[in-house]
């Protein structure tokens, strides 16, 4: 591995590292409203090595440099002084992150070699889609916590964020006026931070979803093989239904027109779709006719926004009509292509009409277990690198799909591969360890993630069907009945035990100030939960109960757990209490178990 691969897409000339114990930052050349970059830099560094007078001071200066273009940034370090340059403000943010991750943090001092560090991403579109629904972390975290997390991702090089600006239709009838007011206030704050960070804000441009209390006569005809729908979709071909959908769209635009939206995403399935004779096949027929109408409305409010059209869950009969539509339209800027399993073959085998750029949709959240994140972090470096290699030469970026913070490492893996495709997933995992778990041996952390990925999916997990979510059933049944099943279950039990022991060793090595940080805790707890689940065949143990309680707090999943117990369950990222002894006799346990197993 070449020198200094801990910085994405760089060329570096390094000398011996100098020791420092303080950082001061000069942001005087930046506009007042963007001098918060100083706090971003110092707060992250000081969380690892608090400032003191034990060694010399590192002075950091930020400068806009017109000689650099796009998101490129350059950091030079010499004789106790660092200069971060970029052609625009967000490039300075990416440069700040590059500098922070080049530092090696210690108890009382930190070291940083003199040299030049360059951030030069090869894929220009790097978007995180934060799904704010179903009482998940994005919906329940407070504004301060949410916005700090956005800053953290921007420091890694994420340059766009897709969010719901309008309260999700699937949650509307379950929400209170107070919850909706908080949501709206956070949407405004989110938009303000996007503008301040100089990154792109994207939101939904349209679909055929509606609240659960929609008029019954407007209901869409569901597919015979459902594509994730909750059956609250509208058939735009029914009398009055199109006007109803367009009115919903206009109301959303009226509520959000003050928020600086730079991109609009249109969605076909999960949610969405209609299989009636007039709409089918939805992807190349009813869908494109509907979103064209909505795009015209969107342009009236956001004339400069880019339009990104998703093909999520398209089947063979959707593609030909969609391609014919692409040939004859003039408003689509990008198409989003991906699937829950492998990357779709059709766009790889058939060039996209008019050379419209492809953006992928890495599904980092829901693969392999249910509830998603309920047993802690889900690092899957091998999976996401394998899928990336299939399409890396055909795509110009990504919009990853996130249900919470439990897949934080997966975000960084995907982002790192698109920034520099010459790197390997495990190199990026090592970077993550150096930054988030300072003090530990990065090779140990890489090995831990490999072990956790090895035992994440069950024996059914070759596809992303519901069977791959049967972790609880799998471990409760001891892996199955055949000798091969029993041998595999024994192997996984041994791996889980070794992973828990390795997690303990890593935990002891991490700097004390970072040992309780949530990124490490959710990985540590995952190792402990797996070891307990395999060893006890998923019986509740005091250690597992304590881990579930800690995850509930980390993920702000209290409301999900409350509804799990009272039988009105509408959450997918809380710990799986339903399979604890305490839940087996609960009146809602049968219903919940069916949901886990379906």
- Tell me the pLDDT tens digit for each residue of 460-472: 444 333 444 578 8
Question: What share of the chain has pLDDT > 70, as a percent?
Answer: 91
The answer on pLDDT for 598 being more than 90 is no
Q: What is the per-residue pLDDT across 34-56, written as a single tens digit (0 to 9) for each?
A: 999 999 999 999 999 999 999 99
For 422-474, give the DSSP string. TS-HHHHHHHHHHHHSTTS-HHHHHHHHHHHHHTTS-TTTTSSSGGGGTHHHH
Greatest pairwise CA separation for the chain in angstroms: 75
DSSP symbol at 269: S
Whether residue 176 is preceded by a cis peptide bond, meaning omega within 30 degrees of 0, is no
pLDDT digits (tens, 9 = 90+) for 284-326: 999 999 999 999 999 999 999 999 999 999 999 999 999 999 9
pLDDT score of 74 more than 90: yes
Measured CA to CA, the distance from residue 119 to residue 7 in angstroms comes to 7
The mean pLDDT value for 27-31 works out to 98
Picking from 369, 367, 376, the residue whose alpha carbon sits closest to that of residue 544 is: 376
Q: How many CB atoms lie within 10 A of CB 224?
A: 6
pLDDT in the model for residue 459: 59
CA 583 from chain centre, in angstroms, equals: 30
On whether the CB atoms of residues 164 and 267 are closer than 8 A, the answer is no
What are phi and psi for residue 211, nearest 5 degrees? -60, 160
Beta strands 13-26 and 110-119, pairing class: antiparallel
Residue 572's pLDDT is what?
A: 84
Q: Is the pLDDT of residue 194 over 70?
A: yes
Cis peptide before 500 (omega within 30 of 0): no
Residue 379: name the closest of 364, 360, 394, 357 by CA.
Answer: 364
CA nearest neighbour of 158 among 117, 201, 192 = 201
Q: What is the mean pLDDT of the chain?
A: 91
Q: What is the arithmetic mean of pLDDT over 107-115? A: 97
The closest alpha carbon to 375, from 575, 581, 583, 597, belongs to 575
Note the pLDDT of residue 15: 63
Tell me, rounded to whole angstroms, the distance of Cα 177 from its chain centroid: 28
How many CA atoms lie less than 13 Å away from 588 in the CB half-sphere?
15
Residue 160 host element (H or E): strand 160-163
Distances (CA, A) of 139 to 153, 164, 207: 18, 10, 21
Burial zone of 226 (CB within 10 Å; 0-12 exposed, 13-18 middle, 19+ buried): middle
Residue 3 — φ and ψ, nearest 5°?
A: -60, 135
Residue 405 pLDDT exceeds 50: yes
For residue range 223-273, what is the model confidence (pLDDT) as tens digits? 888 887 667 899 999 999 999 999 999 999 999 999 999 999 999 998 899
User: Hunting for tokens 């540590």 — which residue is that?
Assistant: 524
Beta bridge partners of 337: 360
Domain edges within the chain: 13-119, 204-341
What pLDDT does residue 579 have?
53
pLDDT at 443 over 90: yes
pLDDT at 466: 46
CATH 3.90.1150.10 fits 13-119, yes or no: no
pLDDT in tens, 133-171: 989 999 999 999 999 999 999 999 999 999 999 888 778
Q: Produce one character per residue of 54-67: b if its CB has 16 or more CB atoms within 10 Å, e if not.
A: ebeebbbbbbbbee
DSSP string, 375-406: TS----HHHHHHHHHHHTTT-SEEEEEESSST
- Asked if pLDDT for residue 10 goes beyond 70, the answer is no
For residues 56-79, give the mean pLDDT: 98
Question: What is the rounded average pLDDT of the residues 380-393?
Answer: 97
Q: Which two tokens stand for residue 200?
A: 């792109």
pLDDT at 468: 46
């Amino acid at each position: 591995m070449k020198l200094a691969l801990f910085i994405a897409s760089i060329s570096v000339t390094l000398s011996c590292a100098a020791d420092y114990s303080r950082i001061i930052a000069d942001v005087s050349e930046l506009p007042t409203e963007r001098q918060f970059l100083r706090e971003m830099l110092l707060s992250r560094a000081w969380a690892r090595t608090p400032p003191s007078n034990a060694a010399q001071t590192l002075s950091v200066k930020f400068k806009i440099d017109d000689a650099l273009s796009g998101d490129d940034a350059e950091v030079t370090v010499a004789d106790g002084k660092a200069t971060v340059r970029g052609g625009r403000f967000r490039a300075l943010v990416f440069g700040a992150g590059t500098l922070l991750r080049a530092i090696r943090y210690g108890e009382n001092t930190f070291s940083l070699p003199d040299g030049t560090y360059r951030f030069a991403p090869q894929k220009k579109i790097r978007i995180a889609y934060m799904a704010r629904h179903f009482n998940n972390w994005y919906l329940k975290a407070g504004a301060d916590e949410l916005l700090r997390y956005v800053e953290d991702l921007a420091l890694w090089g994420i340059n766009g964020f897709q969010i719901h600006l309008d309260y999700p239709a699937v949650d509307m009838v379950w929400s209170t006026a107070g919850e909706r007011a908080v949501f709206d206030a956070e949407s405004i704050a989110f938009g303000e931070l996007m503008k301040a960070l100089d990154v792109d804000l994207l939101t939904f441009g349209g679909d055929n979803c509606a609240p659960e209390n929609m008029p019954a006569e407007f209901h869409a005809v569901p597919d015979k093989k459902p594509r994730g729908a909750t059956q609250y979709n509208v058939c735009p071909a029914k009398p009055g239904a199109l006007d109803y959908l367009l009115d919903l769209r206009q109301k959303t635009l009226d509520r959000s027109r003050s928020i600086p939206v730079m991109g609009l995403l249109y969605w076909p399935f999960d949610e969405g779709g209609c299989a009636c004779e007039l709409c089918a096949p939805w992807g190349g027929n009813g869908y494109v006719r509907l979103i064209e109408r909505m795009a015209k409305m969107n342009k009236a409010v956001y004339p400069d926004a880019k339009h990104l059209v998703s093909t999520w869950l398209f089947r063979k009969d959707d593609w030909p009509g969609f391609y014919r539509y692409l040939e004859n339209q003039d408003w689509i800027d990008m198409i989003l292509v991906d699937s829950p399993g492998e990357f779709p073959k059709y766009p790889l085998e058939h060039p996209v009409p008019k050379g419209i750029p492809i953006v992928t949709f890495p599904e980092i959240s829901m693969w392999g277990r249910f509830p998603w994140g309920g047993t802690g972090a889900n690092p899957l470096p091998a999976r996401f690198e394998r899928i990336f290699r299939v399409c890396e030469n055909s795509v110009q970026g990504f919009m990853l799909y996130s249900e919470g913070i439990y897949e934080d490492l997966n975000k960084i893996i995907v982002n790192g591969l698109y920034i520099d495709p010459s790197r390997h997933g495990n190199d990026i995992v090592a970077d993550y360890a150096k930054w988030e778990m300072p003090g530990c041996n990065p090779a140990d952390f890489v090995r831990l993630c490999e072990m956790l990925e090895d035992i994440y999916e069950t024996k059914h997990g070759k596809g992303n069907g519901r069977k791959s979510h049967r972790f609880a059933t799998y471990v409760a049944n001891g892996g199955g009945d055949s000798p091969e099943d029993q041998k595999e279950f024994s192997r996984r039990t041994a791996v889980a035990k070794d992973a828990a022991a390795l997690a303990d060793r890593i935990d002891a090595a991490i700097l004390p100030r970072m040992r309780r940080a949530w990124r490490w805790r959710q990985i540590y707890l995952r190792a402990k939960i797996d070891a307990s689940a395999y060893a006890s065949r998923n019986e509740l143990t005091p250690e597992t109960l304590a881990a579930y309680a800690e995850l509930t707090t980390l993920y702000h999943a209290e409301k999900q757990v409350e509804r799990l117990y009272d039988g009105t369950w509408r959450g997918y990222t809380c710990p799986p209490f339903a399979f604890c002894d305490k839940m087996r006799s609960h009146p809602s346990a049968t219903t919940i178990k069916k949901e886990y197993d379906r």
